[in-house]
Structure 1
Amino acid sequence: MTENKQYNTLSEFWPFYLREHSNKMNRVLHFIGTSCALFFIVSAIYFLNVWYLLAALFSGYFFAWIGHFFLEKNRPATFIYPVKSFISDWRMYFCTITGQLGKELQKAGVK
């Protein structure tokens, strides 16, 4: 994490979050991890088994943290802003599947 600014709202945090995900392969890893997490969440509901929720948590963060530590070479925002990061992960996921991520990245100044 390169900024020391305090983010009080999701609106303030979102551009920072996107800048912390400027590497395309990091975003791909986040997408894979969030897709796996979604699969495990649905499985937990379908099979009424809470252990799938642990798998969802693990898979979501596993892929994301690989992207941050090895590609972005930054510290995941989750460590300082866990709730805002969690919400922003899902927002980035839905922006990706709806084709809106490019516009959001451009507004945040990500090339």
Structure 2
Amino acid sequence: MIRMMILPLSIVLLAASGYLHAAQSVPMNPNPDTCSAGLGEHMRTRCKNFNATLISFSGCSFTCKGKNHQDKDTITKPNLMDGLPCGLCMECCGGVCTPVNIDYKNQLALESCAKQKGSS
């Protein structure tokens, strides 16, 4: 009886350790171009519109740093567009990475926050 419990537990522990190791190797501040080849350029262009440069990227927003007309430092934190994927089964909604709503009754139809805003 004990052998029958130890083997499945060992397999679960081995699988979990591999999962944890893989999760630890993901960078905390990813390069936006790993998501999409044009995402980094899109963010840099938006920062240029604020007379600033891109300094960081995090989930559904990014940070631009520049100087105003009085030569004082400015920080701007624009949001990425709603509906953009930001994680496993997640999307950007109002600058926050939120779970995707799936309607299982309607053949796995997605209810994106971007579609909801467009229809209201």
TM bucket normalised to smaller:
under 0.3
**Larger Cα-atom Rg:** 2
Bigger relative CO (Cα 8 Å, ≥ 6 apart): 1
